[in-house]
Amino acid sequence: MKRLARWISIVAHPFVMVALLIAGPGSHHSAGHASRSALVVVLAIVIPVAALMILQVRRGRWSNVDASNPSERPLLFLVALAGLVAAFVWLLLNDPRSSLMRGMLVAAAFLGVAAILTRWIKLSLHVAFAALTATALSLLGSAVGYALIPVVALLCWSRIALARHRVREVVVGLVLGILTGIALVRL
């Protein structure tokens, strides 16, 4: 069961959810525009966060790449938010009409709230990102969003089965993700 839980956490990793979220709404743009937007996010956010995760684990400063210890999270949030700011500024200068700009502002608020909540609870970022993606894409009428709803439920189970989170941490991540997904589409 642990092996299945681990695979679910890998398949529904926040990096995968970010890719789905960018590809979903961006699919009505030209392939070049969608590719450029995805590249900006990968270069400014995903690669720096992934590098941080790998370096911290290799240096023995983090127990795993999930930043499971609450004391590991501030640096994770700082790097992710710095990447969001860099990507936002790049888009502001090069593609000010990009649909990603509003999404990045919402994502920054989402990460800010998660960072603040970390003082009291280590919410599941895996579940939060999956719930955000499933909610936003479902509200946009995407079949991918509807298909992700049961994945979110499986992910909730996997995070508890892997002992990365307690039920309340998964629930807080779920609620934050759903609310952020609604904000992303409705604001």
Average pLDDT over residues 148-174: 95
Q: What are the angstrom distances between the C-alpha of 19 and each of 22, 79, 106, 116?
A: 5, 18, 16, 25
Mean pLDDT of the chain: 89
Predicted confidence (pLDDT) at residue 27 exceeds the cutoff of 70: no
DSSP assignment of 108-129: HHHHHHHHHHTTT----HHHHH
The radius of gyration of the chain from alpha carbons, rounded to an integer in Å, stands at 16
Specify the amino acid at residue 45: I
Give the pTM: 0.88
Average pLDDT over residues 135-147: 94
Quickly state the pLDDT bin for 158 (edges 50, 70, 90): very high
Q: Give me the half-sphere count of Cα atoms (radius 13 Å) on the Cβ side of residue 184.
A: 31
Tell me, what's the pLDDT at 25?
A: 59
Tell me, what's the pLDDT at 94?
A: 85
Residue whose structure tokens are 């684990």:
57
Reduce the DSSP state of residue 141 to 3 states and report it: coil
The count of structural domains within the chain is 1
Tell me, what's the pLDDT at 52?
A: 93
Phi-psi region of 123 (alpha: psi -120 to 50; beta: other; left: phi over 0): beta
Quickly state the pLDDT bin for 111 (edges 50, 70, 90): very high
Report the percent of the chain where pLDDT is more than 90.
62
Average pLDDT over residues 132-146: 94
Q: Are 9 and 162 in contact (CB under 8 A)?
A: yes
Q: Which domain holds residue 143?
A: 2-186
Q: Are 120 and 114 in contact (CB under 8 A)?
A: no
Which of 187, 31, 49, 6 has the alpha carbon at shortest distance from 105?
A: 187
Average pLDDT over residues 94-104: 82
